[in-house]
């Protein structure tokens, strides 16, 4: 099904569809598959193992054809990457509704999913791949930066070195991680933005080279001794540095532990959620895909054995005093299936560092300039800083991002904003489109790694205060509410991030085209969507969420008499 067909979204102000409300999803679908953005566009794979934007090229062509002719009161339905129907709705309804990879509970396993996929009946949508709002590695960069900033603060608190803002720095620390793919590739830059040193291991040299080319990684080597010498020199000098090492994480993590290399922080973002996307020891990159396709069960067993070895080393680093966490790829669960009894002795990153932000409805908010003009993003950056002048943390982030982030595909920006903040940004962007300050409409969305739209017991909802980790009503309510509020496209997925059987999540995207109708929709969607995050955390009993709800006026029926 591989096809060499470079896809690139249109730029500029000339419509190829009938309105900006359909041009938005059309350009974003194409942008997801732009070779500058997608990891393996020839197979329609965007990121995250096998996360795809469309079922196959025929389905892709049919989606493009339909979006090009869709009317402003019609809605296209997409079932796991294939367009299946067009219905007359109304102007407030989404232009596209998407359901990806959903399976009934008892059937929600990788083998069953793969059987159905092989029959051509489904597709793995990951999170933002099948919902057409992936923006390259930048999309996860701020979240990764925030996580490492929280790690820095925790280490500083332990060592008595907190700064005046209660934060810390990673200066003089060494982080070890694995996986330099679409998401994992953000790790080296996130660590060096926090002034630390990082060694990142990936089996595939082309992935590490891509991060060097895009400015996310400083250096790469194929030699372990050389890598150790480089990172230890930088650590001693407290000089930020990222070094990529070509190797298998299972082998390298165990070897570094045995050599007692002084590593302070350990995590991993290989594609462990899918055992066929994690390379076992003793298998080469060249052999990988044919072997996985021919003998999936044997491959899975070997991949899990290697994950057992890697996670056992991670636990060993924790025993030796390092800060260790699972970075949202299910490696603990897969290692446990491979026989690692101590896999869950280190926490997931959400309960460890991110949940307080989720309680405020904060999460990876993002927007894209449909014009393709970086000047539009510069103008929106300025607008964000004017809207939130008090937020020093946000200022630091936007300034660093302007300096360090290389755009991939259509220019985009990400920043973490919460309940009663996002709609202010959206409203301002819409005004800027209307006044001509921006040259074309802006698409506004978010990741599914989010506060109110995910049920994922190994990640976003791990260790919820009330034990409600696996309750999946919340993402479904989020999708229904976004549909009722006027989002331009809404999606419901299963299995993103952590793999089939382990998550249910929803996405929304809205097009700010400068019209009064878009302004009304933006006000509702960008208030209600993060509002469901606060609601979810109020219901689970988080005090910070209760405070936010009371201060910012979220109605909670159970509080009313």
Which chain residues interact with ligand NAD by CB under 6 A? 39, 47-49, 140, 143, 178-184, 201-204, 207, 248-250, 269-273, 277-279, 306, 327-329, 449, 497
Strands 454-455 and 45-47: unpaired
Catalytic position from the list 415, 464, 479, 545: 415
Strands 363-369 and 412-417: antiparallel
Q: Return the number of the residue (40 or 239) whose C-beta is nearest ligand NAD.
A: 40
Dist. CA 360–CA 362, nearest whole Å: 5
Question: Is 451 part of any known ligand binding site?
Answer: no
Question: Is 508 part of any known ligand binding site?
Answer: no
Dist. CA 328–CA 122, nearest whole Å: 24
User: What token pair was written down for 434?
Assistant: 């209307």
Question: Is 48 part of any known ligand binding site?
Answer: yes
Q: Return the number of the residue (429 or 458) whose C-beta is nearest ligand NAD.
A: 458
Task: Name the minimum Å distance from CB 138 to ligand NAD.
Answer: 13
Dist. CA 242–CA 227, nearest whole Å: 10
Task: Name the minimum Å distance from CB 458 to ligand NAD.
Answer: 10
Dist. CA 43–CA 331, nearest whole Å: 25
Task: Name the minimum Å distance from CB 59 to ligand NAD.
Answer: 22
**What angle is formed at CA 180 by the lines to CA 108 and CA 302, rounded to 5 degrees?**
50
Task: Name the minimum Å distance from CB 139 to ligand NAD.
Answer: 9
Q: Return the number of the residue (372 or 457) whose C-beta is nearest ligand NAD.
A: 457
User: What token pair was written down for 271?
Assistant: 């594609």
Q: Return the number of the residue (270 or 485) whose C-beta is nearest ligand NAD.
A: 270
Residue 348 has what DSSP assignment? B
Residues in the chain: 561
Task: Name the minimum Å distance from CB 264 to ligand NAD.
Answer: 19
Question: Is 273 part of any known ligand binding site?
Answer: yes
Residue 222 has what DSSP assignment? S
Contacts for 336 with CB less than 8 Å, ≥ 6 apart? 343, 344
Q: Return the number of the residue (83 or 184) whose C-beta is nearest ligand NAD.
A: 184
* Cα atoms found within 13 Å of the Cα of residue 456, Cβ hemisphere only: 32
Question: Is 49 part of any known ligand binding site?
Answer: yes
Taking CB atoms, the residue at the shortest distance from ligand NAD is 181
**415 is known as an active-site residue:** yes
Contacts for 249 with CB less than 8 Å, ≥ 6 apart? 178, 179, 201, 202, 203, 268, 270, 310
Q: Return the number of the residue (276 or 398) whose C-beta is nearest ligand NAD.
A: 276
Q: What sign does the CA torsion over 259, 260, 261, 267 have?
A: positive
Question: Is 310 part of any known ligand binding site?
Answer: no
Cross-strand partners of 366: 414, 445
**What angle is formed at CA 347 by the lines to CA 343 and CA 351, rounded to 5 degrees?**
150
Dist. CA 372–CA 532, nearest whole Å: 32
Q: Return the number of the residue (438 or 455) whose C-beta is nearest ligand NAD.
A: 455
Q: Return the number of the residue (39 or 264) whose C-beta is nearest ligand NAD.
A: 39
Strands 174-178 and 219-221: unpaired
Q: What share of the chain is helix, strand, coil (3-state, %, to 5)?
A: 45, 15, 40
Task: Name the minimum Å distance from CB 193 to ligand NAD.
Answer: 15
DSSP assignment string, 510-548: EEE-S-HHHHHHHHHHHHHHHHHHHHHHHHTT-HHHHHH
Dist. CA 122–CA 173, nearest whole Å: 44
Task: Name the minimum Å distance from CB 395 to ligand NAD.
Answer: 23
Task: Name the minimum Å distance from CB 184 to ligand NAD.
Answer: 4
Q: Which residues are annotated as a binding site for NAD(+)?
A: 48-49, 126, 182-184, 202, 207, 248-249, 269-273, 278-279, 327, 497
Known catalytic residues are: 415
């Amino acid at each position: 099904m591989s096809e060499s067909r470079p896809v690139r979204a249109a730029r500029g102000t000339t419509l190829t569809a009938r309105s900006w409300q359909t041009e938005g999803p059309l350009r974003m679908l194409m942008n997801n598959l732009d070779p500058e953005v997608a990891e393996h566009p020839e197979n329609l794979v965007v990121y995250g193992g096998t996360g795809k934007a469309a079922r196959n090229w025929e389905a892709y062509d049919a989606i493009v054809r339909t979006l090009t002719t869709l009317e402003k009161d019609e809605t296209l339905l997409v079932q796991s990457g294939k367009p299946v129907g067009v219905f007359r709705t109304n102007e407030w309804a989404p232009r596209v509704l998407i359901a990806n990879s959903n399976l009934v509970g008892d059937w929600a396993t990788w083998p069953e999913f793969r059987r159905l996929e092989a029959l051509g009946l489904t597709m793995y949508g990951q999170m933002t791949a099948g919902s057409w709002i992936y923006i390259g590695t930048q999309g996860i960069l701020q979240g990764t930066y925030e996580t490492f900033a929280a790690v820095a603060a925790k280490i500083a608190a332990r060592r008595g070195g907190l700064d005046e803002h209660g934060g810390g720095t990673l200066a003089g620390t060494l982080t070890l991680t694995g996986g330099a793919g679409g998401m994992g590739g953000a790790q080296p830059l996130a660590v060096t933005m926090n002034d630390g040193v990082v060694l990142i291991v990936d089996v595939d040299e082309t992935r590490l080279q891509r991060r060097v080319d895009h400015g996310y990684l400083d250096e790469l080597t194929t030699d372990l001794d050389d890598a150790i010498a480089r990172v230890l020199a930088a650590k001693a000098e407290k000089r930020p540095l990222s070094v990529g090492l070509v190797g298998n994480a299972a082998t390298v993590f165990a070897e570094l532990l045995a050599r007692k290399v002084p590593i302070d922080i350990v995590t991993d973002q290989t594609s462990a959620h899918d055992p066929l996307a994690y390379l076992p020891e003793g298998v080469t990159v060249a052999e990988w895909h044919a072997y996985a396709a021919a003998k999936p069960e044997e491959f899975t067993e070997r991949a899990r054995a290697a994950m057992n070895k890697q996670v056992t080393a991670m636990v060993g680093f924790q025993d030796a005093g390092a800060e260790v966490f699972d970075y949202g790829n299910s490696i603990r669960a897969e290692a446990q299936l491979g026989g690692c009894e101590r896999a869950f002795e280190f926490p997931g990153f959400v309960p460890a560092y991110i949940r307080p932000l989720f309680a405020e409805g904060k999460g990876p908010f993002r927007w894209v300039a449909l014009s393709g003009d970086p000047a539009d993003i510069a103008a929106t950056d300025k607008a964000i800083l004017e809207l939130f002048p008090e937020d020093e943390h946000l200022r630091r982030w936007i300034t660093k991002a302007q300096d360090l982030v290389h755009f991939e595909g259509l220019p985009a920006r990400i920043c973490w904003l919460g309940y009663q903040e996002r709609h202010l940004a959206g409203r301002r962007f819409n005004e800027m489109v209307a006044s001509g300050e921006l040259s074309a409409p802006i698409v506004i969305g978010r990741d599914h790694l989010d506060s109110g739209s995910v049920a994922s017991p190994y990640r976003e909802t791990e260790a919820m205060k009330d034990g409600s980790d696996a309750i999946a009503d919340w993402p479904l309510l989020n999708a229904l509410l976004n549909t009722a509020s006027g989002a331009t496209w809404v999606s419901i997925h299963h299995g993103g991030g952590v793999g089939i059987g382990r998550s249910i999540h929803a996405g929304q995207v809205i097009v700010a085209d400068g019209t009064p109708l878009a302004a009304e929709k933006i006000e509702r969607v960008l208030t209600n969507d993060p509002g469901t995050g606060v609601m979810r955390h109020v219901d689970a009993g988080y005090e910070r969420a209760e405070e936010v709800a009371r201060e910012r006026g979220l109605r909670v029926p159970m509080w009313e008499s």
